[in-house]
Structure 1
């Protein structure tokens, strides 16, 4: 960094020293016609030009100035140079008329004005030459610097030859001059960078190049004739005057050729702009395909680019949604017009089994009169993945303008990229949604796990066995034990309608309600009625809860329970299975008095070895690969086969039979099984 700064300061110092040397040498020369002085002036002038060119080139490179801006800068500089000639002429005329001092004073003043004038032209023409050099090397297919290097070489020879040979041998100087001009003409052709400008920029370039051609021709006239301008430059450096003339000739020829080149490019400028837009849009899509982008944002980008690619007035995208089509993005067209055109093209069979872009004229169709805009031509292209058409990309034009085959091909290629980008975005959206649901399910599973009892309580009078198997999507099964009251054991088993985190939240609320009510109320019916009343404030009808609340009195051996729309209770006694299904509506289905009226309490006097089985519908509604339910019959049969076994063994056998029946089918609901065995006489 430090060395770079020193280098920059060194170049600036060289430029300043060169200008000062010119001033002092001209002052010392004072009419001396020795060739050595003239050659020395030329060498100092060339050093100044070289130093300036390096600094100007670096400035252009660092600031990345566009071609159009550089062209405009050349026009401004040539204008300034022309104004400098006119201003200097007026100044010198006034100075001669008004200055009545000694000749030495006049000579010093004219030298000061002259060096300023010389530096202005040195900087201005160096800038023009550097710009011409940039134009020569830009956007070329083949890098061939030899012709430009020859131009510089013969330009310097021409400058020095006019100084060295002067009047002795003009033929040598003229020969160098002719070769240089021929190289200028050669280097002025093959202008390739204008092809990369759009139509608007080409119009601007046409006007600027015309202005430069006019300015350069006037300046060439001043430099070629015997005038105050040419004599002033010659007084400092004959060689520089030659170089200035050559740079101006180069400007005249180059920008003259540029003017006609742009003029010939204008008729095809619009077509080129459209092709450039197509390439740019396709390149953008190749980037978008590999990027993470919102589906709606992508659809809007596609419709916007479609208008640019096809020079259309309107565009929209429709996607299949069952047997209908849904508009997902639109630009510059109303919903009404979209509906009418969709009905005409998609529902009427006009574009049935479309495999590539198709041009459809609606100028003379029945739909024309129904449109609010004067649309005349439509391109429709399928958006497909592999062989399936997912939707359509459409573009429309107004005012009788039609689409052509090359535009249809462009839209067809464009829609293929769009299809891939949309499908990638859709899959990404689904993946994000799936990930969100999985996280939600993880939260629900964790909530459910924490809400369920960690261990079964142990009593001498009662053996308890429970099994809970959560579904993939997390159902709403729950159960809990209450042992706060002396000589009494209570429990709840239930199922919240719905799945996922919403069911888990309801489950948490219901469990808390029952835990509180079990401490203050005695009757299972009372507890269910009170719970239903509390849930009326928060529970939506879609989240109703089936529940069975029971309690066992260890002293009286009495089992009392109430059932709110839950699966029946099963009693195994003396080898028989007895089903108890007292009346009761699920919690949340009815908040009136009829809920209490339709809820029955049931009491059973327990005997030794009585077994009570409570379960949720995840067992009986478990499905196999044929979509058949496990059902009550298989469930009761499994119990009957194993009723004399230990309750833990009975529970395992039931779950085993359900698993064998399901045969790896997805478990869509929780499975909860609670078995109690009474051991007291």
Structure 2
């Protein structure tokens, strides 16, 4: 039976149960005689009520379980609109009784019970819909612990329908004993709100509005239930039903917790969106290369994107040709004449554009600035566009604020401009390659990109001694490694390998660096970092391409490592105490291989600790896949064993030993693929 037929069957059984309950109550009130035999009357009536509850909930479980996860506002809208309709029906029933000339609607037990049965039906529909919508949201990107807690809570909640067979007062200790475990488990589940992080600023405001309306609906239903509990003589009283009260409590608790979390997340939403926008800027720049845009198209993009990234008020860009002449000029937010006056004031103050960026916190403090004070610009950021020690141009960003560029802004824009410089240089080199030897020029471009983007120094702190070896093959590839200081005692280290060879691999490596530099500043958990990186990489890589990556966050204060592995070669951790080694395997899929929103389930976070003297070996597949004349590969085990045998060496000595051993094994000093080796020794 497919899900649609199963859902319809559940709903049909629920309707039949509800009608049988209604018929029995009419018989009891009108004729003082149940159509059910007297000795079975209460039992079967409670069975019918339990059946109605269960089949209604199971119907919504099947219905909502088939809906696509991720459109969270749509799910909240479904809860709201269902509640709004049911509240409207309930109000019509109440109003019909209040405004009727006939007092039967206020005093007749039969009418009041029939109307209350309608309320039971619509309240159950609202609760069942809301319960399974919250299930879908709570279990979004669930952990094993969250999954277990939820299923225990769900089964206990459904099991609580047996309370129908007992009569409880809401102040009864037995009632509290039944409801307390459900309340505790519901509270634990309510704090699993990962879906909140995936809402934009506007979506969060919409969610706050919907949740507030849902809270009002819940309170109106509760008010209706307790009003009847006090004023009416009811055969079935929801105020004394543990099952119904547990669901109400769960939904109200979730709404309140979600509202609080959303309100606390609002101030950071715009920052996160800005950071993600910076990732998109790197993508856009990279895509311009892939679709073959002209070099001139890059200039407008560079000015606009740079201003957006650092929130500058104005900017201008000068591009020089290979002979140093002015090739292009772009300005935004400032007139050309004002640019001329500012440049003249800078020259008078001996401020010249060199190979190094310059930051002017307050231009008004300088001499010879009388003619530019009326412009209102105070802080300037002057960034040269360099490639291979050649000045390609100058980008100047201006803000109306004193000291308006903070360090984080400056670091991001330096990385962005560096990539743009390489891109501009690549445009020119590719144009030259068409006229000469295109293939050789592409290799030169790619090697230039690779050298420019890889860090020349990776000192972390005195607790980590580090040594790096990286060498490209004859056919250029895309090995990548980088580091970032999260705090004086926490460091992120990444190592990766782009699929394919040639200039496309080098450009993809540049994209990976941009994504790393933008996301790493957010200090995300390593698995969340990989998920966001996959989303960014997947939008611009060709479907046949992917990137393997390993990310390590090292805490030298408590000597722990948090890592995730996206299809990259497993790192090796050498235990200094017992001279053993182990591979840091782990589940992980290469970036760009999953582009349908399911990547999160393919990546995991792992945690481990290390001791002083332990060694961490990171490498790319060019090392272990080196082969000899018999086509035998060097392999992982040889690398691990060599590391154990030389565990007392310094990282530099161990790097030299491994590279020499691999070259001796292969009989050549030239690797067939890119080879990168990072060795960290902890103290």
- What's the TM-score, normalizing by structure 1? 0.53
Partner of 1:145: 147
* Distance in 2 separating the partners of 1:229 and 1:288: 72
SS in structure 1 opposite 2:394? Answer: strand
Partner of 2:310: 310
Q: 1:364 to 1:16 in 2, by over 3 A?
A: farther
User: Is 1:387 the equivalent of 2:389?
Assistant: yes
User: Is 1:45 the equivalent of 2:53?
Assistant: yes
After TM superposition, give the deviation of residue 116 of structure 1 in Å.
Answer: 5.5
Partner of 2:17: 21
Q: Are the aligned partners of 2:376 and 2:400 in contact in 1 as well (CA < 8 Å)?
A: yes
Partner of 2:94: 89
Partner of 2:294: 294
SS in structure 2 opposite 1:390? Answer: strand
* Distance in 2 separating the partners of 1:121 and 1:79: 11
- What's the TM-score, normalizing by structure 2? 0.53
Could you say what the CA RMSD is over the residues aligned between the two structures, in angstroms? Answer: 4.2
Matches within 5 A, 1:263-662: 263-321=263-321, 322-344=323-345, 350-356=351-357, 358=359, 360-365=361-366, 366-367=368-369, 369-370=371-372, 373-398=375-400, 402-428=404-430
How far does the alpha carbon of each residue in 1:231-280 deviate from its partner, in whole angstroms, 9 at most, with x for none? 88x84x96996444333322322222233323333444443333332233
Matches within 5 A, 1:5-84: 7-28=3-24, 30-31=27-28, 32=34, 33-61=41-69, 65=71, 67-84=72-89
Pairing partner for 2:132 from 124, 130, 133: 130
Structure 1, unmatched stretches of 5+, are 437-681
* Distance in 1 separating the partners of 2:282 and 2:275: 11
SS in structure 2 opposite 1:403? Answer: coil
Q: 1:163 to 1:141 in 2, by over 3 A?
A: closer
Q: 1:158 to 1:224 in 2, by over 3 A?
A: farther
Q: 1:147 to 1:261 in 2, by over 3 A?
A: same
SS in structure 2 opposite 1:319? Answer: strand
Q: Are the aligned partners of 2:56 and 2:125 in contact in 1 as well (CA < 8 Å)?
A: no
Q: Are the aligned partners of 1:154 and 1:176 in contact in 2 as well (CA < 8 Å)?
A: no
SS in structure 2 opposite 1:34? Answer: helix
How far does the alpha carbon of each residue in 1:649-674 deviate from its partner, in whole angstroms, 9 at most, with x for none? xxxxxxxxxxxxxxxxxxxxxxxxxx
Q: Are the aligned partners of 2:146 and 2:189 in contact in 1 as well (CA < 8 Å)?
A: no
Q: 1:218 to 1:387 in 2, by over 3 A?
A: farther
After TM superposition, give the deviation of residue 178 of structure 1 in Å.
Answer: 0.7
* Distance in 2 separating the partners of 1:377 and 1:142: 51
* Distance in 2 separating the partners of 1:298 and 1:231: 78
Partner of 1:525: none
After TM superposition, give the deviation of residue 163 of structure 1 in Å.
Answer: 0.8
Q: 1:248 to 1:374 in 2, by over 3 A?
A: farther
How far does the alpha carbon of each residue in 1:173-208 deviate from its partner, in whole angstroms, 9 at most, with x for none? 532311001111112224333334444444444454
Partner of 2:159: 157
Q: How many residues align structurally?
A: 422
Partner of 1:256: 256
After TM superposition, give the deviation of residue 314 of structure 1 in Å.
Answer: 3.1
* Distance in 2 separating the partners of 1:75 and 1:284: 39
Moved more, 371-380 or 302-311: 371-380
Q: Are the aligned partners of 1:380 and 1:393 in contact in 2 as well (CA < 8 Å)?
A: yes
SS in structure 1 opposite 2:122? Answer: helix
How far does the alpha carbon of each residue in 1:304-351 deviate from its partner, in whole angstroms, 9 at most, with x for none? 322332122334432123445454544444333344445555897525
SS in structure 1 opposite 2:66? Answer: helix
User: Is 1:216 the equivalent of 2:218?
Assistant: yes
After TM superposition, give the deviation of residue 155 of structure 1 in Å.
Answer: 1.2
